Amino acid sequence: MKIGFIGLGNMGSAILNGILQKNLVTPDDVYVSRKHPENAKSYASQGVHVFRSNIDVAKAADILLLAVKPNILESVLEEIRGALTDHHLLISIAAGWPPERLLSVVPENVSCVCVMPNVPASVGAGCTILNEKGRYTPEQMDMVRQIFNSVGTTALVEDRYYSVCGALTGCSPAFVFEFIEALCDAAVLSGIPKPLALSLTAEMLSGSAQMALKTGAHPGALKDRVCSPGGTTIEGIRALHEQGFHAAVMEALIRAIEKGKRL
């Protein structure tokens, strides 16, 4: 497959790096557009084709990853419209662009899929939400999965769950980073050097997440495994409850979901 990238910001670069590192395609089968090609010298040196024009990328590639800002996606689609054929598959990662909106501006003979990757994709640990609603063949969806599995995992969800799942995976890393910072600050206050605190905290969270995934146990049951009667952990849990931790996390995600609906 020949894949083109229109938009090569942080997320576009992460996906491009992922497919190259996993040898999903050869550099010769990748096309990117940059207004200033000199900003893509590292990719060009690997054999990736770098064009100034979005239209040239659209003409060269079969799969087009649309990784531009949501507010300019419509103008980009209008720009490349004349180059699109029934052989193309468009993959949009633009927030605030549900399938019905994308389908309304893409020619009827062109396939398209909406996806929501997240920031951990930049280190190969992403969780990308794929929307079932769209216009594609099973083979094309398999290709979409391959692309985003190169930077982590994928989940195919019904359209009615798409925005909520996207907020859960897309916004929550920021909440987790806030939690990491708070734990590190407490450790530093207690005399632990910051680098050690950060390393231990990140490893602890990674291990806890793996435990939740591998055991499939209810989070409350896993919490109870750590809390001894009259011990230190249950004292910390009491403090979290006193400070409204559970409700604050719920409210953070709910507000993010509601904000997404207003975009």
Domain stops at, among 157, 182, 212: 157
Kindly indicate the confidence band of residue 40, based on its pLDDT and cuts at 50, 70 and 90.
confident
List CB contacts of 100: < 8 A, sequence separation 6 or more: 133
149 & 209 share domain: no
pLDDT per residue as tens digits for the range 108-161:
999 999 999 999 999 999 999 999 999 999 999 999 999 999 999 999 999 999
Decide if pLDDT at 23 tops 80.
yes
Percent of the chain with pLDDT over 70: 100
Among 20, 107, 22, residue whose Cα is nearest residue 58: 107
Which of 6-10, 204-208, 234-238 comes out lowest in average pLDDT? Answer: 6-10
Kindly indicate the confidence band of residue 261, based on its pLDDT and cuts at 50, 70 and 90.
confident
Distances (CA, A) of 184 to 108, 120, 191, 195, 219: 52, 20, 11, 9, 23
152 & 173 share domain: no
List CB contacts of 245: < 8 A, sequence separation 6 or more: none
Domain stops at, among 128, 157, 186: 157
33 & 149 share domain: yes
Q: How many domains does the chain have?
A: 2
225 & 176 share domain: yes
147 & 169 share domain: no
Question: Does residue 90 come out as left (phi exceeding 0), alpha (psi in the -120 to 50 range) or beta?
Answer: beta
Q: What is the pLDDT of residue 96?
A: 85
Domain CATH number, residue 100: 3.40.50.720
Decide if pLDDT at 1 tops 90.
no
146 & 192 share domain: no
26 & 118 share domain: yes
Among 41, 103, 32, residue whose Cα is nearest residue 66: 32
170 & 150 share domain: no
Beta strands in the chain (DSSP E): 3-6, 30-33, 49-51, 63-66, 89-92, 111-116, 126-131, 152-157
174 & 195 share domain: yes
Decide if pLDDT at 263 tops 80.
no
Domain stops at, among 118, 137, 157: 157
Q: What is the DSSP letter of 218?
A: -
Decide if pLDDT at 203 tops 90.
yes
Domain CATH number, residue 176: 1.10.3730.10
104 & 26 share domain: yes
- For 43, counting Cβ atoms within 10 Å of its Cβ (0-12 exposed, 13-18 middle, 19+ buried), the class is buried
Residue 65's DSSP bridge partners are: 5, 91
Residue 235: which domain range? 165-262
- How many CB atoms sit inside 10 A of residue 246's CB? 10
85 & 190 share domain: no
Q: What is the pLDDT of residue 107?
A: 94
201 & 101 share domain: no
Rounded-to-5 percentages of helix, strand, coil across the chain: 60, 15, 25
Distances (CA, A) of 106 to 62, 159, 198, 246: 15, 18, 46, 42
What does the mean pLDDT of the chain come to?
A: 95
What is the model's pTM? 0.92
Decide if pLDDT at 92 tops 90.
yes
Kindly indicate the confidence band of residue 255, based on its pLDDT and cuts at 50, 70 and 90.
very high
